Amino acid sequence: MPQAASFNVIIPSRFAASRLPGKPLRSIAGRSMIARVWDRAILAGANDVIVATDDARIVDEVESCGGNAMLTSTEHASGTDRLAEVVARLGWNDEIVVVNLQGDEPCIPVALITQVASALVDAPDAGIATMATPINSGEELFNDNAVKVVMDEQGMASYFSRAPIPWVRGVFRPGEVPETLPEGHTFLRHIGMYAYRAGVLTKMAAHPQSTNEKSESLEQLRAMAMGIGVHVGVITEPPPPGVDTQSDLDRARRFFSDEQVSE
């Protein structure tokens, strides 16, 4: 049985967004989106929850809702760098488990936050834990916006790629998308939910991008190039998508309206 995880949550949140400007402060059923994400982290039982942002307006909103926020550098190239700044400024121990919860995922299942933290607690040889879900269509497998992952028998990631992996020789053909996937093969889509040991965040932020990371535009490949083990948990159903557009925001508003009605 998995251990009950002890973990912290950092929520990176940026005000600027080309498709939905100011989205962290957009209202969802009477509460801002960033407050909704904060609520999910608290419900998951995190010991400490910090919103890491580059905008004072988000700090003010979080604090007005009773949360904790930190104004971080505007020069960070990635979310990992922003998380590492929080870890350094708060002096967290290297072994503390830190869940990266994106500030635009107000509908994230609370159980998934706990699950990814527990997965890292239960994998002492891993520095990172993440999640994946089965792929059942050729269209998804061959979509380069869908990141794929292959694992070893111990549940550790072997590689992440935008390409269709594993490539089934004799079945797949370059330039063709199969209507059905071959039986007897496992295809997994990576879900961008991460738990890190705090010391890993510090090391990754100080390390240059790897060649594979640059090629695939996948930050987790930096960790693999550094020899940091990445444990992958498999879940049956993917979580709801984050909020990037007005239609996403409308969907989130319906989600919380329906949730309140059911109560």
Q: What is the pTM of this model?
A: 0.92
The Cα–Cα gap between 193 and 238 comes to 11
7-258 falls under which CATH superfamily? Spore Coat Polysaccharide Biosynthesis Protein SpsA; Chain A (3.90.550.10)
- pLDDT tens by residue, the chain, 263 residues: 344 579 999 999 988 877 888 999 999 999 999 999 999 999 999 999 999 999 999 999 999 999 999 999 988 888 889 999 999 999 999 999 999 999 999 999 999 999 999 999 999 999 999 999 999 999 999 999 999 999 999 999 999 999 999 999 999 999 999 999 999 999 999 999 999 999 999 999 999 999 999 999 999 999 999 999 999 999 998 899 899 999 999 999 999 987 654 44
**Predicted local distance difference test score (pLDDT) of residue 203:** 97
Domain ranges of the chain: 7-258
The Cα–Cα gap between 128 and 120 comes to 6
